[in-house]
């Protein structure tokens, strides 16, 4: 982005006084809190399924959406923009998921004379395409594991596979969150994997583009938090360990990452910040990487707040959601801070313990614990319905300790004290992972949950 375009945008930016939150659940409530603490008015929207959410009373204004399904509610751009204008909002915060990384929506917000609380739409486009993002970051000196360009047909896939080697993974270029990924062990399975990945990518993201990447069996998933301002400066806020996953979805995150050389992590984080500064990236972003036996490889950049942002907030003392708003308003970066202590987050989902499918119903009892060193982020309250229309995340339980062991102990006690009735949850699985000897030793990788589940099934079968 040129300095001229930065200057023009800065001059035309309105002062932020009222923020429309184009999202729901825990992140909507989190943004309301940030707005309240900054002295800003907040406007929330809600579908009929979220009519009982606690943040409707905590916000300055609340407006109903007409539909239940995401496409009729939180993905309805025109409806959201109409409410923004009706409410007098001068800024829109997209949260995570939904429209948070949609460049078309971001431009519509800006064209309507409002501030989009996120990076310039050009970065949503550049980083939204995983193939282009990998190429761009590799050109700037960040390592990537072996991969291909866009796959156009089975012949180009076979040629790329010969260079990468098996096993490999087929990935959608325009999506994330593990959706559509297909692991391929040999060339015989390539064509079927391409067809399956293409179908999922087209349905989930409206973009059927695919690429290939080297498959690493048991990597660590490490991400780096970046802040960047409108003046061309960027800083890093250390790493988050996100390896504890199930079906490519994160379950437990922590900071700092256990058992990896801190100097290596520091170099990677500083490199990421330096690249963002040199490219002119603005606002908040997260660089996601894989770590394997001393090697690191860039995966993608998320141009939005992460679900697990609270982990970084706890070890730095910096409110990332407030920083998003302040940076979007033209403020400079905060002062660098040291990492202090250890923080860990677990994601409590409404799901059936046997089938691992979402569990729906009315929260007859929903009593989060109130404990020292523990923070609960949720968009639910007792008596509210958990519907089938949206993500099954009930709450995030975040614990801070002087040591990793203390943080683990606190989050475990909090989970065991969390009284939830009316839906099934994954609390038992989370506690099992937290008490696992491998996890306690810091020997984590993306396959740890499956190993724990497999060991549990073997014991049950005896």
Beta bridge partners of 18: 41
Residue of 126, 304, 404, 410 marked active site? 304
Structure tokens at 390: 């949206």
Q: Phi first, then psi: what are they for 189, rounded to 5°?
A: -95, 0
Spatial CB neighbours of 286, under 8 Å, sequence gap ≥ 6: 223, 224, 225, 226, 301, 302, 306
DSSP single-letter state for residue 49? G
Half-sphere exposure of 407 (CA within 13 A, CB side): 28
Q: Does residue 304 carry a catalytic annotation?
A: yes
Spatial CB neighbours of 150, under 8 Å, sequence gap ≥ 6: 131, 173, 209, 210, 211
Distance CA 25, CA 95 (A): 10
The terminus-to-terminus CA distance of the chain in angstroms comes to 62
Question: Which of 298, 276, 314 lies closest to 406 in space, CA to CA?
Answer: 314
Question: Which of 190, 228, 189, 225 lies closest to 210 in space, CA to CA?
Answer: 190
Ordered strands of the 61-64 beta sheet: 61-64, 41-46, 18-21, 91-93, 115-116
For residue 93, what is the enclosing H or E element? strand 91-93
Burial code (b: 16+ CB inside 10 Å, e: under 16) for 405-442 equals ebbbbbbbbbbeebebebbbbbbebbbbbbebeebeee
Q: Can you give the length of the chain in residues? A: 462
- Give SS3 for 404: helix
CB 288 within 8 A of CB 300: yes
Spatial CB neighbours of 376, under 8 Å, sequence gap ≥ 6: 368, 369, 395, 396, 397, 398, 414
Which residues are catalytic, by number?
Answer: 304
């Amino acid at each position: 982005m040129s300095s001229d375009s930065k200057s023009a945008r800065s001059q035309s930016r309105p002062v932020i006084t009222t923020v429309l939150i184009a999202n729901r659940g825990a992140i909507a409530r989190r943004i309301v809190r940030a707005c309240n603490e900054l002295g800003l008015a907040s406007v929330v929207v809600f579908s009929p399924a979220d009519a009982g959410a606690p943040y409707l009373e905590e916000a300055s204004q609340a407006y109903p959406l007409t539909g239940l399904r995401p496409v009729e509610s939180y993905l309805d751009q025109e409806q959201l923009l109409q409410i923004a204008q009706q409410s007098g909002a001068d800024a829109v915060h997209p949260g995570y998921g939904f429209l948070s990384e949609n460049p078309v929506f971001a431009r519509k917000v800006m064209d309507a004379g409002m501030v989009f609380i996120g990076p310039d739409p050009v970065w949503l486009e550049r980083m939204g395409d995983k193939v282009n993002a990998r190429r761009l970051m590799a050109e700037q000196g960040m390592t990537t594991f072996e991969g291909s360009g866009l796959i156009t047909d089975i012949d180009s896939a076979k040629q790329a596979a010969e260079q990468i080697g098996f096993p490999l993974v087929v990935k959608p270029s325009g999506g994330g969150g593990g959706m559509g990924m297909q692991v391929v062990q040999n060339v015989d399975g390539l064509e079927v994997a391409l067809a399956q990945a293409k179908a999922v990518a087209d349905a989930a993201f409206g973009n059927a583009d695919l690429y290939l990447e080297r498959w690493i069996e048991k990597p660590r998933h490490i991400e780096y938090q970046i802040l960047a301002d409108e003046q061309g400066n960027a800083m890093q806020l250390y790493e988050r360990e996100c390896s504890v996953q199930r079906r490519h979805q994160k379950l437990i995150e922590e900071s700092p990452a256990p058992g990896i050389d801190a100097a290596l992590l520091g170099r990677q984080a500083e490199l990421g910040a330096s690249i963002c500064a040199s490219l002119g990236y603005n606002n908040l972003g997260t660089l996601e990487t894989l770590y394997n036996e001393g090697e690191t490889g860039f995966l993608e950049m998320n141009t939005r707040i992460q679900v697990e942002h609270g982990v970084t907030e706890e070890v730095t003392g910096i409110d990332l959601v407030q920083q998003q708003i302040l940076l979007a308003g033209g403020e400079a970066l905060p002062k660098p801070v040291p990492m202090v202590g250890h923080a860990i987050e677990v994601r409590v989902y409404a799901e059936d313990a046997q089938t691992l499918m979402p569990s729906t119903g009315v929260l007859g009892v929903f009593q989060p614990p109130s404990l020292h060193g523990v923070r609960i982020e949720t968009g639910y309250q007792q008596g509210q319905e958990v519907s089938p229309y949206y993500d099954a995340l009930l709450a995030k339980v975040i614990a801070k300790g002087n040591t990793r062991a203390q943080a683990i102990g606190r989050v475990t006690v909090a989970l065991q004290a969390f009284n939830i009735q009316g839906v099934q949850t994954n609390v038992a699985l989370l506690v099992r992972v937290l008490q696992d000897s491998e996890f306690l030793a810091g020997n984590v990788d993306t396959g740890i949950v499956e190993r724990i589940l497999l060991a549990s099934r073997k014991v049950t079968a005896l």
